[in-house]
Amino acid sequence: MYRQPKRNLTTLGEFIIDKQADFPFAKGELSSLLSDIAIAAKIVNREVNKAGLVNILGEAGSENVQGESQKKLDVFANEQFLAALATGGECAGVASEENDEIILFDGASSSGKYIVAIDPLDGSSNIDVNVSVGTIFSIYRRKTKNGPATVDDFLQPGYDQVAAGYVVYGSSTMLVYTTGNGVNGFTLDPSIGEFCLSHPDMRIPSGGNIYSVNQGNFVHFPEGVKRYIKSLQIDDKANKKPYTLRYIGSLVSDFHRNLIKGGIYIYPTTLGSPAGKLRLMYECNPMAMLMEQAGGRATDGYRNILEIEPTDIHQRCPLFVGSTQMVEEAMDYLRQYSDAEMKPQYANGKES
């Protein structure tokens, strides 16, 4: 009888298959879809790691739906994830930050059971200065049963996600994901080209003393956010204040650090952006699912992100995400001090 030697290495593929066994009716489609995403992440990682060496930096000349100039690596990353999902056969279509409209796949993939919302390279303005960037993805089961997917398949609230995750292309490259049973992190071992389980069952500390916010926008913040931030900056050693400000302009990196150490990331409404800056479908929802699965909280300052009924694949929403105690304290300040007109306004008329 073969006695399997003990090895302390679990690859992402092995982990996905092991976890699939927890779902007796799973036929492997979601597992296959997650593997497709991992393949694209490895290809993007290879290019991100040498972005400074080849002529892949600089403007691609085009603009994305946000009106932001697209860096060549944005375009490359988007192409890799679309190609991997199109050929994988499990995904019927994609809503991408880099595409104005949903991308529907034809052939066998058009009957795929899932749809994906993705920010293929978040924080890409950091590429030229060698600061970590990331990919954020969100997976839903289609609502329509046959024929091409429709935009309604994408406009589902975050609580309906079946999986969510991110890749952070940092000092090491990690893939962190959840299928609703906890959060697990995998570090890419370039010597074998595999994501290996390195952070099993990730849980965020219930409290923390790191806050991540663009202090440069302070003057435009709602009064409640200003008062909350000021409360973190007082000299109060008994409560470990002043807290530490850590903000590198890359959501995935700030989120990942706070997930491990405890903390809060805030991108609130401002006078200029009444719904904040971040995108609900492929930034806030996946990060909110991950954070709730890791024992933290994610709100728009007033209600859970995952409850928001989307009306547009690119709609924005404010984001307060991190340690539960910190997010709830920030919400208390908003309720107590912020003016009504600074509450996020959503197109479907529902207020928070």
Residues that bind ligand P6P (CB under 6 A): 122-123, 125, 214, 249-251, 277-278
Q: Choose among 282, 288, 281: nearest CA to 306.
A: 288
Minimum distance between the CB of residue 250 and ligand P6P, rounded to whole angstroms? 5
Nearest residue to 106 via CA among 55, 163, 46, 148: 148
Residues 134 and 170: their CA atoms lie apart, in Å, by 8
Within 10 A of 162 (CB to CB), how many other CB atoms are there?
16
User: Could you tell me the smallest distance in angstroms from the CB atom of residue 127 to ligand P6P?
Assistant: 11
- Nearer Cβ to ligand P6P (89/318): 318
Q: Shortest Cβ distance from residue 15 to ligand P6P (Å)?
A: 27
Q: Which residues contact 117 (CB under 8 A, 6 or more apart)?
A: 94, 95, 96, 137, 138, 140, 154, 281, 282, 285, 286, 313
Q: How many CA atoms lie within 13 A of 132 on its CB side?
A: 21
3-class DSSP state for residue 266? strand
* Distance in Å, CB of 249 to ligand P6P, minimum: 5
Q: To which residue do tokens 């906890």 refer?
A: 182
210 closest CA partner among 241, 189, 181, 184: 241
Minimum Å distance from CB 297 to ligand P6P?
Answer: 18
Judged by CB, which is closer to ligand P6P: 30, or 305?
305
Q: 185 in helix, strand or coil?
A: strand
The residue among 122 and 194 lying less far from ligand P6P, judged by its C-beta, is 122
In the complex, least distance from residue 9 CB atom to ligand P6P, rounded to whole angstroms: 31
Count the Cβ atoms, other than its own, within 10 Å of residue 125: 15
Q: Which is nearer to ligand P6P, 123 or 322 (CB)?
A: 123
Tokens read off for 158: 């975050």
Q: Which is nearer to ligand P6P, 99 or 125 (CB)?
A: 125
Reading the block at residue 139, the tokens are: 């997976």
Identity of the residue, 97 or 292, whose beta carbon is nearer to ligand P6P in the bound complex: 97
Nearer to ligand P6P, 93 or 123 (CB): 123
Q: Which is nearer to ligand P6P, 243 or 282 (CB)?
A: 282
Residue 263 and residue 326 in contact, taking contact as beta carbons nearer than 8 Å? yes
| Closest by CA position to 154, among listed 219, 77, 205, 99 | 99
Least Å distance, CB 131 to ligand P6P, is: 10
Q: How far is the CB of 212 from ligand P6P (least distance, A)?
A: 8
Nearer to ligand P6P, 257 or 277 (CB): 277
d(C-alpha 54, C-alpha 145), whole Å: 44
Residue 20 CB, nearest approach to ligand P6P (Å)? 31
Angstrom CA distances, 220 to 267, 268, 276, 344, stand at 12, 10, 11, 14
